Structure 1
Amino acid sequence: MSLGDDREGQTRTRLPETGGDVYGGARRGGRSSSRSMITVVGVVVLLVAAIAFANRGGSGSGSAAGDEDKPKASSTAATGTRPVKGKSAGIPAGYAHDEQGAQSAAANYAIALGSADMFDKVKRDDILRTIITPSRVSEFETTLDQAYTPAFYKNVGLNEDGSTPTGYTFVSRTSPVGTKVVAASTTSSTVEVWCSGLLGLAGEKSTSPVTNSWFTITMQLEWTGGDWKIVTHSQKDGPTPVPGDERASSADEMAKAVQEFGGFTYAR
C-alpha cells in the first residue's frame, strides 16, 4: 500500500456500469471545411508520429535529457486489481485501502453528488448515508435540505417540489475527467476530481436549457468501516477548455441522449 506520495496527472479508466428550440440549429461559425482540414492534418500527424515511434524502438539508448519531466507510463495505465467489490444504494463501494482506491471513491462520489437523484429528498438521503462518513451524515442532510429549496428547483426549471414538468427531461450529470491525490495517509486522503457537468431541462420551450460546465471538486476522505467516506468537500470553477464550434443539439436529441446513454463506474 502506498499512501505517502502526492500523485498528479492521474487518468481514470472508465468501465461501463450497465447496459423556437433553445438548443436550436445555429452553429457558432461556418467552419466545417476548416474543421475537416484540421482533422485530416491531425490524422496525418498522428500517423507520422506513430511510424517514427515504431522505428525508434529497439535502439537501447538511455532516456534523453528532459525525459524526467514526461508523464510516467504508470500515470495512465490501468491496474489489474478489481477496483470495487460491490454497491450500496447503486453506488460502487468496497474500495482498495490505498491511493488508487481513494481516487476511485472520489470519482464515483462526484458522480453521485452531481446526479439528478440529489434533487429527490429520499434518494439524496440514501446517497449521503452511502458516501458520507457516519458522523457527518446528519450535518450534510441539514445543509443540503436548506440548499434544495423550491426557489432553487424553480431556478433549474423544475416544479417547486423538485419534480420534472410534464413533457420535459431533467438533466443533471457529472463526468469526472481525472483525479489527483494532494495529501494522503493510512487513515485519510484528500483528492481533487476534475469534472464536466450537464444541468438543465431538455424541452422545446425550456427556459433552462441543458448547459455544460467545468469544475473541480476537492474531497477529504477518511478510511472508516472498511471503506473510503467523505468528511468534507468543496467545489471551484475550472479548468475550463475553449469551447468548440459544434452545433448545439436539439432538445429532442439531448433528451434522447440522456435517456439512452448510461453512466459509468470510474476506477483507477
Structure 2
Amino acid sequence: MTIGGDDYDERERAGTSLAPGGRQTRTRLPDGGAYAAGRRARVGTRPSKGMVTVVGVVVLLIAAIAFANRGGGGDSSDAGSSGRGPQSQPTAPTGEKPVPGSDGGIASGFPKTEQGAQSAAANYAVALGGDGMFRADTRRQIVSAVYAPDVAAARQDDLDDVYSGKDFLKGIGLNANGNAPDGMTFVSRTNPVGTKLEQLKGDSARVSVWYSTLFGLAGEGSKNPVAESWYTNTFQMKWVGDDWKITDFQQKDGPTPVGRDQAASSAEDMADAVQGFGGFTYAR
C-alpha cells in the first residue's frame, strides 16, 4: 500500500509490498429501470413487459431459496427433529480445503499445478500485506514462510530495517514495536480479487494478483483513517521443498474501480468490523 513518498520507495527497494489464466467474472447489478421506486401499474391496465419480467425473476428467486433451504436430503434429523425448521448456520468457508498444511498460520503445501501456483500467490499477498509484517517476531515468521529459503535469508535484515524504522512507524501512527496507540486499531489487510497465471514452466511460475487493501488507524481522532487502495503484484515463484515459494515480485497501482457514493463508516464501526471479520484461505 502506498503510504507516501520516501517510505514507499524504500519499501519497494527492499522487495516487499506496502500492503503487504485468467478467467474473468462479471457481476451485473440491477439498474434503476425495473426497480425504480414509485412505479405502479394503473388500475385497469395491463402490466408492462418489464413488470412481467421482474415478477418472473422474483418467482424464480423465491423458488431457488426454497430449494436451497431444503438441505441435502439424506439424514433429516439435524434440522427437522425439533419441528422448528432450518436453524441459522455460522458463516464459514465451504467446500474442499485447498491445502493440507500451515506454516505459522499461513497456508502451505500448494500443489505443483496452475491452480496451486495461483492459490499460493494469493495467500502470500495476504500474508505480506497483513499487520504481522509490522512486528519483528511475526515478520520473521512470514518471510520464512513465503520466500524461498535463500531469498528469505538475504532479505530478512533489509526488511527489518524498513519495517522497524522509527520514522516509518511514526509516520503511520505506530510505536517502535509496531503497535497502535491505546484506543486505536491498526488495520492492514489485503483482499485478493483475482489471480492470473502469467507463466508456468517446470519449477518456475509467474502469477499476478489483483487486490484491494485497507490500511490505517481506526479510532476516534485518528490522523490516518482507514482507506482503500488497489494494486497488482506479480510474483516470481519457484518450486522448493514440495511447495511454491516467492523469489521476487513487483507491485503496481490498480486497476482501480470508480468509488460508489457511500458514506464512510464511523471509526468505531470500522474497528469492530476488522476485529470481528476474519480473513480467508484463498484458493482457486
Which bin holds the TM-score, normalised by the shorter protein? 0.7 to 0.9
Question: What TM-score do you get using the length of structure 2 for normalisation?
Answer: 0.68
Counterparts of 1:242 and 1:38, CA distance in 2: 21
Q: Which residue of 2 aligns with 1:89?
A: 104
Counterparts of 1:46 and 1:113, CA distance in 2: 47
Q: Deviations over 1:203-253 (max 9, x none)?
A: 110000000000001100100100000000111100000010111000000
Q: Does 1:8 align with 2:8?
A: no
Q: Which residue of 2 aligns with 1:20?
A: none
Write out the 4+ residue segments of structure 1 that deviate beyond 6 Å after TM superposition: none
* Distance verdict in 2 for CA 1:87–1:39, change over 3 Å: farther
Counterparts of 1:124 and 1:180, CA distance in 2: 27
Q: How does 1:207-226 map to 2 (within 5 A)?
A: 207-226=223-242
Higher relative contact order (CA 8 A, sep 6+): 1
Identity %: 50
Uncovered stretches (5+) of structure 2, i.e. residues with no partner: 1-20, 37-52, 62-94
Residue identity opposite 2:264 in structure 1:
A
Q: How does 1:79-228 map to 2 (within 5 A)?
A: 82-148=97-163, 149-228=165-244
* Distance verdict in 2 for CA 1:190–1:164, change over 3 Å: same
Uncovered stretches (5+) of structure 1, i.e. residues with no partner: 1-6, 12-34, 52-79
- Kindly report the root-mean-square deviation, in angstroms, between the aligned alpha carbons of the 2 structures: 2.5
Cα distance, 1:85 vs structure 2: 1.0
Counterparts of 2:24 and 2:239, CA distance in 1: 21
Cα distance, 1:45 vs structure 2: 11
Counterparts of 2:188 and 2:169, CA distance in 1: 12
- Give aligned pairs, total: 209
Larger radius of gyration: 2
* Distance verdict in 2 for CA 1:170–1:85, change over 3 Å: same
Residue identity opposite 2:232 in structure 1:
T
Cα distance, 1:141 vs structure 2: 1.1
Cα distance, 1:83 vs structure 2: 2.2
Check whether the contact 1:95–1:228 (CA below 8 A) recurs between aligned residues. Answer: yes
Cα distance, 1:156 vs structure 2: 1.3
Q: Which residue of 1 aligns with 2:35?
A: 40
Check whether the contact 1:218–1:233 (CA below 8 A) recurs between aligned residues. Answer: yes
Question: What TM-score do you get using the length of structure 1 for normalisation?
Answer: 0.72
Compare 161-170 and 188-197 and name the one that shifted more.
161-170
Residue identity opposite 1:107 in structure 2:
A
